[in-house]
Amino acid sequence: LLLVRNELPAPGLRLAARSGSCHQCLYQFLAFVPPSNGSLTKTGTASVMVDTQHPLTLMLNSSVGDTQLCKIQYHFGEFGNYSLVVKALTANTETVSCDLIINQDPINSYFPILFAFLVYMGILAVLIVGRLFMKIDPVRNWVYKKLNPRETDRLINSELGSPNTTDSINCDPAPHSWSTASRQRLHSLDTFRGLSLVIMVFVNYGGGKYWFFKHESWNDISQLHFPSALFSRFVFIMGTSIALSLSSMLRWGSSKWKVLRKILWRSFLLILLGIIVVNPNYCLKPLSWDNLRIPGVLQRLGFTYLVVAALELLFTRAESATWEAPYPALQDILPYWPQWIFILMLEVIWLCLTFLLPVPDCPRGYLGPGGIGDFGKYPNCTGGAAGYIDRLLVGEKHIYQHPSSTVTYQTTMPYDPEGILGTINSIVMAFLGLQAGKITLFYKDQHKQIMSRFVIWSILMGTISAILTKCSKEEGFIPINKNLWSISYVTTTGCFAFILLLLIYYLVDVKKLWSGAPFFYPGMNSILVYIGHEVFENYFPFKWKMQDSQSHAEHLTQNLTATTLWVLISYLLYRRRIFWKI
């Protein structure tokens, strides 16, 4: 709460503000503060609620002549009580002072996070002690007899067909040699997927209503603001899984036509489920076709999967075929040069449409949010070509109506972050994940080779990002933007995805210092967890009526409880060998 006290006899004051997260934005009027009219006991006052997420720049202008009297930049704290006192320093009121006073200190809104961290660390300590007990032979034998994990792994691998981590890509694919090998999944992939999914569920449920668990309004700094990178990591690991699963199915003798039919069916189901999930009229009223949202997360995953999996299937080589690479260091790249040409062509299409497509009443190549951004010059240009293509091909009523830019930039145009143009770059992201999968196939049981190549790819992606963004949030050639799925967003999140996969691969599959729990379990049932958390979002025990809707502690408790429940559900399903695959 900000109370503005005007001790000037005349004139009145106009209070306006601009958020520090709003790039090149117009000041927004907050309140009119009446004059004191010469009274020493009764000053003109006005009270306003101010944003605490980002620093604010407050500007006080005279209501007569719009003369600027003072400007203050300050980062207000949550539930603080402040006064802004405006008074004259000279008799003729030519010199004015604006003093900010703290009437009531803001609360420490981060204490609930610290408490939650300590609780989960306590649970982790209990689990570690339990693991130490598992080293006692009688205890371990009894637990293994009850859980029977080998049968569980046998079922998983027989259904999903992950390749053996110790097999060579060029080894004899005879059924006998394959069946005698110990077929094990790369647990690091499921752990990576589960980690991304669990954080995504927590963020979607509200993230305790903390601003840093929300998506950025427009341009972002990606990995320093990690909610914006979660979906891209999910797309990345999907590409990795494509490389492994297709290799396994073809190794087991499935024809390409049979695999293609499975790809088409799976893509269709993902798109269909996505349309159902993003239009949640389950118990309210019949769904209206007039405002049915068509794009969405699962829809993008389905189409991305279709393109990347079909591309890999089309150009994959039989394992009996050999290809002499002139550069052995590029043996996981050069044999697939047609795929790279296709991906580069897609990226050229994205660049041409983004920067060359004429958009009515908007500058060519516009990448901004519209609204009050860019000093209000292009209020109806949200997303530039990306938004225009969606509104033209899909229709304004069939895309997302409340984009993240609405609050900060006060945009009025609908814009879908899972739109058509951005899907091109999600295909590129999945293709980078596909490359990670090929690396694990080509260099199986060669951990140093795999990890070194992950590092090389990470450096390459990071270098491209540095060039495209000029290492800045707003001033680069192509800013990092999750709403647009800009190519710099893909290279930046791809850079950190390779690093994260490297770390998890080293801990889980190389050194076996970590089993991947608890993230491994939701990673095994990712589709079920994602759809389930969307469908049951507003049902108990995932949500309940809170006593104080402004309390971070209550929101955090509710969101962490809901997220933990989905982890427990996935664990129970794993124990019962139930895996929902489409």
Cβ(385)–Cβ(357) under 8 Å? yes
Q: Tokens standing for 500?
A: 């994260």
- Angle (CA) 265-570-235 rounded to 5° is 50
| Exposure string for 10-25, b = 16+ CB within 10 A, e = fewer | eebbbbbbbbebbbeb
Instruction: Look at residue 315 and give its three-state secondary structure.
Output: helix
Helix (H) or strand (E) holding 303: helix 297-315
Q: Tokens standing for 363?
A: 């500058």
Cβ(2)–Cβ(47) under 8 Å? yes
The C-alpha atoms of residue 371 and residue 253 are separated, in whole angstroms, by 56
Catalytic residue among 23, 215, 225, 552: 215
> Given the structure tokens 């794993």, which residue do they identify?
574
Give 322's contacts (C-beta < 8 A, 6+ positions apart): 170
**Any idea how long the chain is?**
582
Helix (H) or strand (E) holding 504: helix 487-504
Q: Are strands 2-6 and 81-88 parallel, antiparallel or unpaired?
A: parallel
Nearest one of 162, 152, 145 to 576, comparing CA atoms? 152
The strands making up 2-6's β-sheet, listed across from edge to edge, are 44-48, 2-6, 81-88, 96-104
Would residue 215 show up in a list of annotated catalytic residues for this protein?
yes
* Catalytic (active-site) positions: 215
